[in-house]
């Protein structure tokens, strides 16, 4: 641990006592930013950053700060946890991944992210690696297995990139762990006072990424465009260091506004690294399952304020589009507080096709996805509820629709829709309160894939 971070931990302890309502004390040792000090994720921007010729209009994209969906759930492996065997559904057809059949200790109550990507990230300190699972599911027969479509494996002492033969999880080949925002990042930023930041470069998704060119730390270029303006996987974006952060029209509660400022100052100092395709400029928090899955409370609402339907996009929207810049490749970053130096990135064109990852690419194998249509997580519903499932890249025999674990409808032809009697599911047949909607996709090979959302029924009685 660096001297600077040790000092910040001391400040954090003081700050936690001063604002106990807003900053709950961490229940475990503080989580320091992962990967080597020389990683671009732990490097400040150059003192005089050169702006790239690509990426014009990058700030005109929408903003998203993912929280309850499309953000990885992260767990730390420990010796007292159950031992599982990791199985990859596409082993052989997508390559020979060393994560397949690997034995890993994982918390018994671990849950992946609640979305079609099903991200599950496992930090293994004893081995110095992190595993990124894509479309992860616990074995259907409680047989001591976790299944995933594909996986990444990255050394924690590296720059954040996965190994070349285990590059799954993100289109860039960068670990799912890299660039995520952890609650301790926020706590350290708060402890720094009115000039705080999150202490490392963020990961960011973007809508127009190059299909053949990438920049370190990315190791693949599975983008969606050949436009000369497309961003490269691994490229940094940042905002004008001269922008007056305090003068921006921050939104929401005081905690929301404080968090937005932390993001903005981080983008001014460290920037954000393009790691994946996304419909907007997309940053990611640790998924709340990372905490609730091991019996801890969700830290985010108390720390950064209430979300808007599971997202914190509004906290980043006040940053003006005109303030965004793209860093030209080939520039060395500066050491972060108390760390060493880095080597300049280099533009690389892959010599061989890269493996499929998390989203569908033009001209490539479609990624396997299940997208639910219907109530959002935690929504309140009444009357008849529209409910559907869309699948991509799966050989489907039928789709079952379950309410609280009991099958209420099945559809054997796409589009898969719960029609019931009278159209849609009649929520009046259950009591008011919390319930679960589950879609169970039965594949032609006999395997099943499920997706579940919790919701609340509130019908007038009488």
Half-sphere exposure of 154 (CA within 13 A, CB side): 32
* % of the chain at pLDDT higher than 90: 55
Question: Which CA distances in Å does 331 have to 41, 55, 378?
Answer: 14, 17, 45
> Which pLDDT belongs to residue 364?
39
pLDDT digits (tens, 9 = 90+) for 368-405: 577 778 887 778 888 888 888 888 778 888 888 888 88
Contact 120, 130 (CB under 8 A): no
Has residue 354 got a pLDDT over 70? no
Under 8 Å CB-to-CB from 31, ≥6 apart: which residues? 182, 183, 184
> Which pLDDT belongs to residue 20?
30
How are beta strands 145-148 and 83-88 bridged, if at all?
parallel
> Which pLDDT belongs to residue 343?
30
By C-alpha distance, which of 55, 81, 71 is closest to 283? 71
- DSSP string computed for 236-256: EEEE-TT--GGGS---SSHHH
- DSSP string computed for 183-234: HHHHHHHHHTGGG---SSPEEEEESSEEEEEEETT------SB--TTPEEET
- Top-ranked range on mean pLDDT: pick from 14-28, 170-184, 336-350, 447-461: 170-184
- Determine which of 91-105, 129-143, 436-450 has the lowest per-residue pLDDT on average: 436-450
pLDDT digits (tens, 9 = 90+) for 9-19: 433 333 333 33
> Which pLDDT belongs to residue 25?
31
Where b means 16+ CB within 10 Å and e means fewer, 70-98 reads: bbbbbbbbeeebeebebbbbbeeebbebe
Has residue 328 got a pLDDT over 80? yes
Question: Which CA distances in Å does 380 have to 227, 391, 401, 450?
Answer: 43, 25, 19, 22
By C-alpha distance, which of 391, 382, 359 is closest to 224? 359
Give 36's pLDDT tier (boundaries 50, 70, 90).
very high
Q: What's the rounded Cα separation, in Å, for the pair 462 and 459?
A: 10
- Determine which of 56-70, 176-190, 263-277, 419-433 has the lowest per-residue pLDDT on average: 419-433
* % of the chain at pLDDT higher than 70: 85
> Which pLDDT belongs to residue 349?
35
Where b means 16+ CB within 10 Å and e means fewer, 387-418 reads: bbbbbeebebeebbbbbeeeebbebeeeebbb
> Which pLDDT belongs to residue 325?
96
Give 456's pLDDT tier (boundaries 50, 70, 90).
confident
How are beta strands 209-215 and 231-233 bridged, if at all?
parallel
Has residue 223 got a pLDDT over 60? yes
Question: Which CA distances in Å does 246 have to 22, 261, 343, 364?
Answer: 20, 8, 33, 45
Contact 72, 177 (CB under 8 A): yes
By C-alpha distance, which of 74, 200, 182 is closest to 130? 74
Has residue 292 got a pLDDT over 70? yes
Sheet containing 369-373, strands listed edge to edge, beginning at the edge strand earlier in sequence: 369-373, 388-392, 416-417
Phi and psi at 120, nearest 5°, equal -135, 120
Q: What's the rounded Cα separation, in Å, for the pair 296 and 454?
A: 19
Instruction: Report, as an integer, the average pLDDT of 157-178.
Output: 94
Has residue 230 got a pLDDT over 80? yes
> Which pLDDT belongs to residue 368?
59
Has residue 304 got a pLDDT over 60? yes
> Which pLDDT belongs to residue 29?
46
Sheet containing 83-88, strands listed edge to edge, beginning at the edge strand earlier in sequence: 103-105, 83-88, 145-148, 137-138
Has residue 44 got a pLDDT over 70? yes
Give 35's pLDDT tier (boundaries 50, 70, 90).
very high
Q: What domains sit in the chain, N to C, each tagged with a CATH number?
A: 37-348 (no CATH), 369-457 (2.60.40.10)
Contact 453, 372 (CB under 8 A): yes
Beta carbons within 10 angstroms of residue 51's beta carbon: 11
> Which pLDDT belongs to residue 422?
58
Pick the more confident residue, 93 or 7.
93
- DSSP string computed for 66-89: ESSSSS-EEEE--TTSPEEEEEET
Under 8 Å CB-to-CB from 8, ≥6 apart: which residues? 188, 191, 192
Has residue 140 got a pLDDT over 80? no
Please give the sequence-ordered ranges of beta strands (E in DSSP) within 149-185, or none if there are none.
Answer: 150-155
Contact 40, 201 (CB under 8 A): yes
Q: What's the rounded Cα separation, in Å, for the pair 237 and 204?
A: 9
pLDDT digits (tens, 9 = 90+) for 433-449: 888 888 888 887 777 88
Under 8 Å CB-to-CB from 96, ≥6 apart: which residues? 165
Q: What mean pLDDT is reported for the chain?
A: 83
Instruction: Report, as an integer, the average pLDDT of 341-345.
Output: 29
Instruction: Report, as an integer, the average pLDDT of 101-124.
Output: 93
Pick the more confident residue, 372 or 22.
372
Q: What's the rounded Cα separation, in Å, for the pair 46 and 313?
A: 28
């Amino acid at each position: 641990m660096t001297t600077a971070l040790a000092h910040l931990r001391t400040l954090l302890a003081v700050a936690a006592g001063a604002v106990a309502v807003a900053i709950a004390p961490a229940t475990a040792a503080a989580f320091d930013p992962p990967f080597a000090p020389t990683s671009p994720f732990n490097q400040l921007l150059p003192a005089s950053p050169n702006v790239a010729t690509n990426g014009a209009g990058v700030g005109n994209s929408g903003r998203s700060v993912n929280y309850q969906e499309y953000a990885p759930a992260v767990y730390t492996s420990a010796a007292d946890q159950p031992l599982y065997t990791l199985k990859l559904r596409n082993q052989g057809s997508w390559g020979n991944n060393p994560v397949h059949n690997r034995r890993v200790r994982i918390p018994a109550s671990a849950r992946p992210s609640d979305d079609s990507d099903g991200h599950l990230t496992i930090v293994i300190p004893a081995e110095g690696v992190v595993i990124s699972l894509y479309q992860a599911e616990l074995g259907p027969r409680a047989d001591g297995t976790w299944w995933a479509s594909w996986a990444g494996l990255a050394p924690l002492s590296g720059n954040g990139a996965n190994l070349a033969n285990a590059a799954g999880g993100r289109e860039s080949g960068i670990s799912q762990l890299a660039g995520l925002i952890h609650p301790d990042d926020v706590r350290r930023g708060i402890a720094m006072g009115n000039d705080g930041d999150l202490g490392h470069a963020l990961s960011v998704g973007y809508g127009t990424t190059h299909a053949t060119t990438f920049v370190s730390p990315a190791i693949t270029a599975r983008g969606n465009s050949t436009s000369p303006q497309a961003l490269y996987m691994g490229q940094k974006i940042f905002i004008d260091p001269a922008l007056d952060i305090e003068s921006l029209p921050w939104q929401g509660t005081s905690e929301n506004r404080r968090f937005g400022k932390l993001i903005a100052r981080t983008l001014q100092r460290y920037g954000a690294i393009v790691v994946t395709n996304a419909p907007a400029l997309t940053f990611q928090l640790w998924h709340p399952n990372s905490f609730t899955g091991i019996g801890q409370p969700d830290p985010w609402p108390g720390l950064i304020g209430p979300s808007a339907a599971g997202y914190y996009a509004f906290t980043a929207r006040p940053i003006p589009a005109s303030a965004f810049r793209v860093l030209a490749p080939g520039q060395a970053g500066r050491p972060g507080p108390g760390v060493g130096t880095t080597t300049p990135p280099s533009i690389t064109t892959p010599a061989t096709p890269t493996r499929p990852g998390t989203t569908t690419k033009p001209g490539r194998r479609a990624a396997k996805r299940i997208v639910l249509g219907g109530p959002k997580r935690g929504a309140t519903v009444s009357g008849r509820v529209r409910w559907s499932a869309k699948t991509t890249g799966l050989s489907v025999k039928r789709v079952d629709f379950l309410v609280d674990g009991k099958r209420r409808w099945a559809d054997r032809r796409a589009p898969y829709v719960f029609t019931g009697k009278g159209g849609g599911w009649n929520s009046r047949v259950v009591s008011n309160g919390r319930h679960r909607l589950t879609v169970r996709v039965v594949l032609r090979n006999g395997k099943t894939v499920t997706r579940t959302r919790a919701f609340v029924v509130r019908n007038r009685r009488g």
